[in-house]
Amino acid sequence: MKNEFIPYKEALALKELGYKEISMRLYVDGELSPQVDEGQFNHDWDIVSAPLFQQAFRWFREEHNLLHTVNIDLSNNLKDKVYIYTIEDQLGSIVDRSEEYNTYEEAELACLKKLIEIVNQMKDE
């Protein structure tokens, strides 16, 4: 189940963007730990919520109106099974479309990183 949680670096970036949703697990000093009351941890420790990928993507959709898809790229007639992501705004305009990735998981993580980058740029404008 560990693969269902976004990596620490991206969890920290979400926290810096204002992500405050409750998650089943936490990162404590960069390591995935069982979810317990944050008050049980030493307050000198770095504690970051560890959202599931679906929680992070929902947050981008609900808070920033950015929708994503990860699909098989059909442009090569399935000669090689590759994956791409697409990010759209609420009007359906394409904000970003990725290069090809060998696995769904690679494309999904790249999409999450790009969403973080896009929201950071929006924040700076």
Residue-wise pLDDT for 86-105, tens only, equals 999 999 999 999 999 999 99
Sheet containing 83-88: give its strands across: 67-72, 83-88, 94-97
| Surface-to-core class of residue 27, CB atoms within 10 Å of its CB (0-12 exposed, 13-18 middle, 19+ buried) | buried
Q: Give me the pLDDT at residue 121, please.
A: 93
Band (pLDDT 50/70/90 cuts) for residue 125 is confident
Is the pLDDT assigned to residue 85 strictly greater than 60? yes
Residue 77's contacts (CB-CB under 8 Å, 6 or more residues apart) are: none
Residue-wise pLDDT for 21-63, tens only, equals 888 888 988 899 876 555 555 555 788 999 999 999 999 999 9
